[in-house]
């Protein structure tokens, strides 16, 4: 119950009371004097902390001067004949022995708790022999005042109720359903508790006791605001969450369906504006449902563009209005439910291109524009709706990691694997979405074609991933290519033939190849040398599918590119086939050094 809303007000108005002291001067002179006593003002104004203006006691509670009693004390004892009514004092005054006295004017009882106010005021006086003394006593409220503030909700939701004030062992009713405008007075310094008891409109009895203050102050008004505990009904609310797919089987969102439990104890005719909300961990509303019809339940409405609900715990809350009074989600928090999202299920499919796949699908021209040693155009598709994947809310939920059976991995969105060893590579995509995963693999044929080797500035044997084979002795010569044959007279320094790396093709395919070769010297005469080229998966002997005679040129050891002879051929190759370049090792002395080099190899689909 929300009862404790207490406002404190302090009595305004200066209590014109002189300080008292139990040990004031009580020395008596000889003889007597007279005290002429008058009752001055009665201060009835109070101030309120709940509002700026002052408040006053109800008129019918303000006493008349004739209602006051007068007590005159010397030390701890009252003077003979006192206390007595103020109205019984005479104009001649009160004859007193010379000395000091405490004079008190009071009206009412000063019980721990009572339904009438208590007023008091006092002053000290000194009586001198043979002299009259005049004194005026001002009085003010000397206890605390308690008033109720009863809300309309209390009256609407409780058919019978009482609000009782307790102080010590005493208790008095402050208000009830028939009279909510009363007031009570509590002795200063006393503790005050309030007790509410009543029967609500459903016939349920409630009671509650709470502390207002541990010690009340005099001349202070306490406004006790009493609100009813508006009934919180259990609707047996339940929510079922399931991820949904469209007609094509694509994951496209999350459906949250509501259902009610037993509503036989709920006064449905008094309930309106019933609303449920589903809130995520950050407090954002992701679903809502409003109804005044409790015979049917349905699917909650998407809020804040959360079509899909990611993994995590969500809180289901509800609020409603009963008989015109709102019951908030905070009030129904005890009935809140935790809804956990299920794991999504989805499928993934990876695709990729190699030069060979382009060759088989688009032809040789397109394939020859690609990377013969790489895997490219890698994509992963899933049956997750683009509306989800393209929504920034879910950008952190989806990721794909690609890996190759030969080693290497990437988390880039569209990775490219390059400089691979030729052969079959299994590419695997590991797709992760919102805590669940799906994998997909595809075999990628990396053939090595197209192969476009230019050895003007580097040796073909620099490639250790897909290596060449040299039979015999040869040497790379910068800007000239690879030396297959070098001699001076009959002194042969280099003599070799070479095999390209082994191309990896799943079946016999048509190719074209070409190489640039030069036979040159710093001397004279121009005999020819035979250069053999061919293809084979064997490397025991040079392959001589084609013979090309090249004339020796005088290039002063530095033939230009256009002086190289282009040797080309069309053929077919199978798996592990190589291009072989060899020569007839024919020596033609000319009193100078002679060289046979090649500086390129190009292999293309056709």
Task: Tell me: do 460 and 597 sit in the same domain.
Answer: yes
What residues make up the domain containing 19?
A: 5-144
Q: Distance (Å, rounded) from C-alpha 86 to C-alpha 79?
A: 15
In the prediction, which pLDDT does 294 show?
Answer: 87
pLDDT band of 295, cuts 50, 70, 90: confident
Report yes or no: 130 and 173 within 8 Å, Cβ to Cβ: no
CATH number (domain holding residue 100): 2.60.40.1120
Q: How does the average pLDDT of the chain come out, rounded?
A: 89
User: pLDDT class for 11, splitting at 50, 70, 90?
Assistant: very low
Whether 461 and 598 share a structural domain: yes
Tally the domains of the chain: 4
For residue 229, the model assigns a pLDDT of 58
Same domain, 472 and 359: no
Which has more pLDDT, 318 or 30?
A: 318
Domain final residue, candidates 319, 340, 361 = 340
Looking at the structure, tell me whether residues 253 and 319 fall in a common domain: yes
**Residue 283 confidence (pLDDT) above 90:** yes
pTM (global) more than 0.75: no
Residue-wise pLDDT for 467-485, tens only, equals 999 999 999 999 899 999 9
Whole-number CA gyration radius for the chain: 54
Give the CATH number, domain containing residue 400: 2.60.40.10
Q: Which two tokens stand for residue 450?
A: 């197209």
Which region holds residue 440: left if phi is over 0, alpha if psi is between -120 and 50, else beta?
Answer: beta
Cβ atoms within 10 Å of 581's Cβ, excluding its own: 26
Provide the pLDDT for residue 268: 86
pLDDT of 203 reads 75
Do 396 and 270 share a structural domain?
no
Asked, for residue 193, whether it belongs to a domain, the answer is: no
| Co-location of 426 and 553 in the same domain | no
Residues 230 and 331: their CA atoms lie apart, in Å, by 9
User: Are residues 455 and 593 both part of a single domain?
Assistant: yes
Q: What is the pLDDT of residue 52?
A: 55
The mean-pLDDT minimum among 2-16, 129-143, 319-333, 382-396 falls in 2-16
Per DSSP, what are the bridge partners of residue 208?
196
The confidence band for 18, taking pLDDT boundaries of 50, 70 and 90, is very low
Pick from 380, 383, 317: nearest CA to 347: 383
Residue 92's pLDDT band, with cuts at 50, 70 and 90, is confident
Report whether pLDDT(241) > 90: yes
pLDDT in tens, 325-381: 888 888 888 889 999 999 999 999 999 999 999 999 999 999 999 999 999 999 999
Count Cβ neighbours within 10 Å for each residue of 13-48 and write b for 16 or more, e otherwise.
Answer: bebebeeeeeebeeeeeeebbbbebebeebbbebbb
**264 has pLDDT over 90:** no
pLDDT higher than threshold 60 for residue 211: yes
**411 shares its domain with 465:** no
Among 340, 370, 392, give the residue marking a domain's end.
340
Higher pLDDT, 152 or 566: 566
Confidence band of 433 (pLDDT split at 50, 70, 90): very high
6 pLDDT band (50/70/90 cuts)?
very low
What is the Cα–Cα distance from 570 to 23, expressed in whole angstroms?
134
CA separation, residue 56 to residues 53, 149, 187, 563, 606 (Å): 10, 17, 18, 121, 110
The confidence score (pLDDT) of residue 204 equals 76
Residue 267 pLDDT: 84
């Amino acid at each position: 119950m929300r009862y404790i809303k207490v406002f404190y007000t302090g009595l305004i108005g200066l209590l014109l009371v002189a300080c008292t002291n139990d040990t004031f001067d009580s020395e008596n002179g000889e003889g007597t004097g007279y005290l002429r006593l008058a009752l001055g003002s009665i201060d009835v104004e109070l101030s309120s902390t709940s509002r700026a203006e002052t408040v006053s006691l109800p008129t019918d509670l303000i006493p008349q001067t004739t209602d006051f009693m007068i007590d005159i004390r010397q030390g701890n004892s009252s003077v003979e004949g006192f206390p007595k009514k103020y109205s019984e004092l005479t104009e001649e005054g009160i004859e007193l022995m010379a000395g000091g006295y405490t004079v008190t004017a009071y009206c009412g009882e000063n019980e721990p708790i009572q339904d009438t106010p208590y007023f008091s005021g006092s002053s000290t006086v000194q009586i001198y022999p043979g002299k009259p003394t005049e004194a005026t006593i001002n009085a003010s409220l000397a206890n605390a005042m308690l008033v109720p503030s009863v809300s309309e909700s209390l009256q609407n939701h409780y058919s019978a109720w009482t609000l009782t004030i307790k102080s010590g062992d005493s208790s008095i009713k402050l208000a009830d359903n028939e009279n909510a405008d009363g007031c009570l007075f509590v002795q200063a310094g006393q503790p005050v508790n309030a007790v509410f008891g009543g029967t609500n409109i459903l016939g349920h009895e409630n009671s509650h006791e709470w502390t207002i203050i541990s010690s009340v102050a005099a001349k202070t008004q306490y406004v006790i605001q009493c609100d009813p505990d508006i009934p919180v009904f259990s609707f047996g609310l339940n929510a079922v969450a399931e991820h949904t797919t469209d007609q094509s089987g694509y994951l496209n969102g999350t459906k949250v369906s509501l259902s009610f439990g037993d509503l036989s104890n709920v006064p449905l005719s008094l309930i309106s504006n019933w609303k449920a909300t589903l809130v995520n961990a950050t407090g954002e509303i992701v679903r809502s449902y409003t109804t005044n019809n409790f015979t049917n339940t349905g699917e909650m409405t998407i809020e804040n563009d959360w079509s899909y609900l990611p993994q995590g715990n969500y809180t289901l809350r509800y609020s409603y209005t009963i008989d015109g009074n709102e019951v908030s989600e905070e009030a129904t928090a005890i009935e809140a439910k935790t809804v956990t999202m299920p794991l999504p299920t989805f499928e993934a499919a990876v695709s990729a291109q190699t030069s060979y796949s382009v060759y088989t699908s688009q032809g040789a021209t397109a394939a020859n524009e690609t990377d013969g040693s790489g895997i490219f155009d890698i994509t992963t598709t899933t049956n997750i709706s683009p509306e989800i994947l393209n929504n920034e809310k879910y950008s952190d939920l989806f990721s794909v990691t690609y890996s190759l059976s030969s080693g290497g991995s990437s988390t880039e969105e569209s990775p490219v694997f390059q400089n691979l060893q030729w052969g079959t590579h299994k590419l695997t995509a590991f797709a992760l979405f919102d805590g669940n995963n799906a994998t997909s693999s595809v075999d990628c044929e990396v053939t090595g074609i197209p192969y476009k080797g230019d050895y003007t500035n580097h040796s073909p044997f620099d490639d250790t991933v897909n290596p060449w084979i040299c039979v015999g002795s040869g040497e790379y010569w910068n800007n000239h290519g690879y030396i297959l044959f070098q001699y001076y007279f009959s002194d042969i320094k280099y003599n070799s033939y070479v095999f390209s790396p082994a191309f990896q093709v799943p079946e016999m395919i048509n190719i074209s190849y070409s190489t640039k070769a030069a036979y040159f010297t710093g001397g004279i005469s121009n005999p020819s040398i035979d250069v053999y080229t061919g293809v084979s998966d064997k490397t025991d002997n040079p392959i001589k599918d084609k013979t090309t005679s090249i004339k020796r040129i005088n290039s002063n050891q530095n033939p230009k590119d256009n002086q190289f002879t282009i040797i080309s051929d069309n053929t077919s190759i199978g798996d592990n086939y190589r291009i072989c370049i060899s020569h007839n090792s024919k020596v033609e002395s000319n009193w100078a050094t002679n060289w046979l080099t090649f500086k390129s190899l190009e292999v293309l689909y056709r």
